[in-house]
């Protein structure tokens, strides 16, 4: 009898639950060729708080020192990002505090060997534009596309400068 009542309650909950809406995920990918080997490029720009130099923002660690699970705090506390994945030449983070947090913003910085002494440096952003106001979606996409394209240029210059 308990199973029958429990099953009935479960069916009722499912029947009256609000419909789940699919997220509207956006991906922005930028890359640049760097005239340096991948290890040299990553050593120069790949530290998790190195963002302070190439983005010109403050960066401190709230947890860790750049390993998986580290939490960096940018802009004097306005933005918090948790490192959720890491390889020898890449990391991925999730912004859980900041202007893009409502959109489940994630970013991946990655360096890959690309021929003799060359590196392909990529920055990929993924976010749910349903987390943004409808009138801000296009302008945010344009802003992010341009901003991270320009940041790759800064990282290229830093990597290639002796």
Q: What is the pLDDT of residues 21-78, one digit of tens each?
A: 668 999 999 999 999 999 999 999 999 999 999 999 999 999 999 999 999 999 999 9
Q: Tell me the C-alpha distance between 158 and 53, whole Å.
A: 9
Q: Tell me the C-alpha distance between 107 and 56, whole Å.
A: 17
Q: Tell me the C-alpha distance between 5 and 16, whole Å.
A: 17
Structure tokens at 148: 């991270």
Residue 50 has what pLDDT? Answer: 97
Terminal C-alpha separation, the chain: 77
Residue 15 has what pLDDT? Answer: 47
Residue 23 has what pLDDT? Answer: 85
pLDDT grade for 3, boundaries at 50, 70 and 90: low
Question: Are 38 and 145 within 8 A, CB to CB?
Answer: no
CATH T-level fold of 21-160: Alpha-D-Glucose-1,6-Bisphosphate; Chain A, domain 4 (3.30.530)
Cβ atoms within 10 A of the Cβ of 81, count? Answer: 27
Question: Are 49 and 72 within 8 A, CB to CB?
Answer: yes
């Amino acid at each position: 009898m308990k199973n029958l009542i429990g099953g009935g309650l479960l069916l009722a909950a499912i029947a009256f639950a609000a419909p789940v809406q699919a997220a509207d995920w956006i991906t922005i990918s930028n890359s640049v060729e760097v005239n340096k080997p991948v290890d040299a490029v990553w050593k120069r720009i790949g530290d998790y708080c190195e963002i302070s130099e190439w983005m010109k923002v403050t960066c401190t660690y709230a947890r860790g020192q750049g390993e998986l699970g580290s939490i960096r705090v940018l802009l004097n506390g306005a933005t918090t990002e948790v490192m959720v994945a890491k390889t020898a030449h890449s990391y991925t983070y999730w912004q859980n505090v900041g202007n893009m947090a409502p959109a489940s913003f994630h970013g991946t910085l990655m360096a890959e060997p690309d021929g003799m002494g060359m590196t392909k440096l990529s920055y990929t952003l993924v976010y749910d534009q349903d987390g943004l106001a409808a009138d801000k979606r296009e302008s945010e996409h344009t802003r992010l596309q341009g901003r991270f394209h320009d940041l790759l240029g800064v990282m290229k210059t830093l990597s290639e400068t002796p």
